Structure 1
Amino acid sequence: MLQILALSTNNISGNLPLSIANGLPYLEGVYLGKNQLSGEIPGCISNFSKLTVLDLSVNSFRGRVPMNLGNLQNLQLLNFDSNQLTNDPSMLELDFLISLKNCRQLKEIRISRNSFDGMLPRAWGNLSASIEFFSAYSSGIKGMIPNEIGDERVISIKNQFSGEIPSTIGQLQSLVNLTLSNNRLHSPIPESLGDLISLQYLDLSKNNLYGEIPRSLEKLKELVYFNVSFNELNGEIPNGGPFKNLTAYFFVGNSELCGSS
């Protein structure tokens, strides 16, 4: 009665067989990362009704992500990092993410370094409230950051986002890591980020952010890393709270920023 299929880092090549879900009704963990698997991810993988971990990272899977992953109602970790996966080009949004709303125990989504071309769903906040970690850097995601963004603890997105940082992010009281560097964001830094009482890591570097650094960020007692380099910020750098220990390195590339007097 096989429950765990752990074959990571074994130089396994070829396609996943369509019959993979047959005869394995009790499988709870699929660990196939760091191999040389290719082809499409078969839709029948959603037949693993007891599956909690699906790790297919660092392979050469291509094609669309199956739309029926929402059938994996016990899923806790989905890791598709470092493949060549795509989405339906006729859809503006990454439709497969919408299907995950039925995965009410899902904690981590990792889809970085893929070949997607679309936006995060506007209904992102309707996804599982249990999601704590979302990583999607260098994956071709574009558009604007949705106002409804759930209640994650870690958000790491380095893509082609444009527009503004929504002030609603300030409602994510459990957020520990917010990485939005290397995008095309063009807005002031919201005052509401000062309400992220658990925040430890904030990276907004390499965007087009403008205006002053909000004094509200001085309230972030847990913050140990803050980077706003290479933006269009101006005014005086705050000197209270976590800013007491930050060096000039984290502010370079903002020609109109100045140190506190």
Structure 2
Amino acid sequence: MGIAILNADGDGMVFPAPSLPIAIPSCKGSVASREIPQEINNLLILELLALENTNLIGLIPSSIFNITSLKNLNLLENNLTDSISNASQLTSLDLRLNAFTGSIPNSLGNLARLQHLGLGMNYFVGDSSSSTELSFLDSLTNCRHLRRLWVDENPLNGILPASIANLSSSLENIDAGSCGIKGNIPDGIGNLSNLIFLNLPENDLSGLIPTTIKGLRKLQVLNLGENRIQGFTPEDLCNLLNLGALRFNKNNFSGSIPACLGNITSLIYLYLHSNILTSSIPTSFWSLTDLLVLDLSSNSLSGRLSPEIGNLKSATVIDLSMNQFSGDIPSTIAGLQMLIHLPLSRNIIHGPIPESFGNLINLEFLDLSQNNLSGMIPKSLEALLYLKYFNASFNRLKGEIPTGGAFANFTY
């Protein structure tokens, strides 16, 4: 096998295959911008070409794609602007962080051996034809070995076609965040049974989550945040027992939170904030002992906070602000010594601030404002040496404000 590296002088060199990976240093900022030399096609036994972060500009020479042995092409983070041609032996093509424009060519479907395709962070747009569907996805159904597809942060502004169901059964990773994708998530998404990572945030998706999503049993990350998806949070999600991160924030989900989500014990990050969710927090959530982040803020959740919240020993962020929670603050929260961020503002919580809050030794952010809290601010909070933000305004507190510890640095 041959490996080509573009060095700081712009010379192409071929090395024999190493027994260990070669680290390719960045040349960005150390040399002037330059084009890929046409002479690159003289490297007849080239299998891997890595020109990452080397200030390249202009077009990709078509001569690169005449190198029949080429399998891996990495042109990540340059300023290339156009030209993707055929290279039938390619298994990996990474063109992220460049300046490519126009439609993503359907000819990519000719790369039958392709496993990794990175087109993210460019200026690709949707199909120029009258169809609003993203036709390049149709062509990629020919790539039967495709495992990773990155098209994030391109202004595609199209609809996911039903043919997404026919993508490679080996597909593990889809990243299409911030692409202006519209319409519903196709039912066929459930056919991608080996999918591990599905990232579709900051788009314009609407409608309901298809029930077929329960077929993605290997899924570990599901991010649909910042769309316009509506309806109830589907209980079909509860079949995804390998899920570690679930982001449904900033959508139009309504109704109650399915209690069965608490059965997904692998959950580490759970973001349901900024929806229209109602009812109380399911008691099953207090069994998620590995949970690091629980964000339920900006909904219409109600009820008393359970003392079992103290079971979330791993939590670093618990955000329950801007809801309708009532009752006292459970003193058991004070046992969450990993907690860094605790906003409880804009609820109807009453009673005192627990004296035991002084045990939250890692706490940096505490917002208790706009509730019905009474009594004094406990002097024990002076023990919170990392506290950077404290807000207890718009309550019914009285007495002196502590002056020691972090309070000595606060403005009133």
Partner of 1:123: 163
Q: TM-score, normalised by structure 2?
A: 0.60
> Tell me, which stretches of 5 or more residues in structure 1 are unaligned?
none
Partner of 1:72: 111
Question: Looking at CA atoms only, which structure, 1 or 2, has the larger radius of gyration?
Answer: 2
Match of 1:154 among 184, 193, 197: 197
Judged with a 3 Å threshold, the aligned counterparts in structure 2 of structure 1 residues 58 and 258 are, in CA distance, closer, same or farther, namely: farther
Residue identity matched to 1:253: S
Match of 1:26 among 66, 69, 82: 69
Q: Do residues 239 (structure 1) and 283 (structure 2) align?
A: yes
Partner of 2:296: 251
Q: Is the 8 A contact 1:221 1:242 kept in 2?
A: no
Q: Is the 8 A contact 1:224 1:242 kept in 2?
A: no
Give 1:77 shift: 0.4
Identity of aligned residues (%): 38
Instruction: Name the Cα RMSD after superposition.
Output: 1.7
Q: Do residues 133 (structure 1) and 177 (structure 2) align?
A: no
Match of 1:221 among 260, 265, 274: 265
Distance 1:223 1:201 in 2: 6
Q: Do residues 175 (structure 1) and 219 (structure 2) align?
A: yes
The SS at the match of 2:100 is strand
Distance 1:27 1:106 in 2: 17
Distance 2:302 2:147 in 1: 39
Distance 2:173 2:293 in 1: 30
The SS at the match of 2:279 is strand
Q: Is the 8 A contact 2:214 2:240 kept in 1?
A: yes
Distance 1:248 1:257 in 2: 20
The SS at the match of 1:168 is helix
Distance 2:255 2:58 in 1: 52
Judged with a 3 Å threshold, the aligned counterparts in structure 2 of structure 1 residues 186 and 18 are, in CA distance, closer, same or farther, namely: same
Give 1:224 shift: 1.2
Distance 2:139 2:256 in 1: 39
Q: Do residues 54 (structure 1) and 93 (structure 2) align?
A: yes
Give 1:256 shift: 3.3
Tell me: higher relative CO, structure 1 or 2? Use CA pairs within 8 A at least 6 residues apart. 1
Q: Is the 8 A contact 1:220 1:241 kept in 2?
A: no
Distance 2:296 2:46 in 1: 53
Give 1:175 shift: 0.6
Partner of 1:36: 79
Q: Is the 8 A contact 1:72 1:103 kept in 2?
A: yes
Partner of 2:254: 210
Give 1:161 shift: 0.3
Q: Is the 8 A contact 1:238 1:260 kept in 2?
A: no
Judged with a 3 Å threshold, the aligned counterparts in structure 2 of structure 1 residues 12 and 224 are, in CA distance, closer, same or farther, namely: same
Q: How big is each residue's C-alpha offset from its partner over 1:123-148, in whole Å with a ceiling of 9 and x where there is no partner?
A: 21111111000000001111111111
Give 1:260 shift: 5.5
Residue identity matched to 2:165: G
Partner of 1:85: 124
Query: Aligned residues, how many?
Result: 256
Q: Is the 8 A contact 2:116 2:146 kept in 1?
A: yes
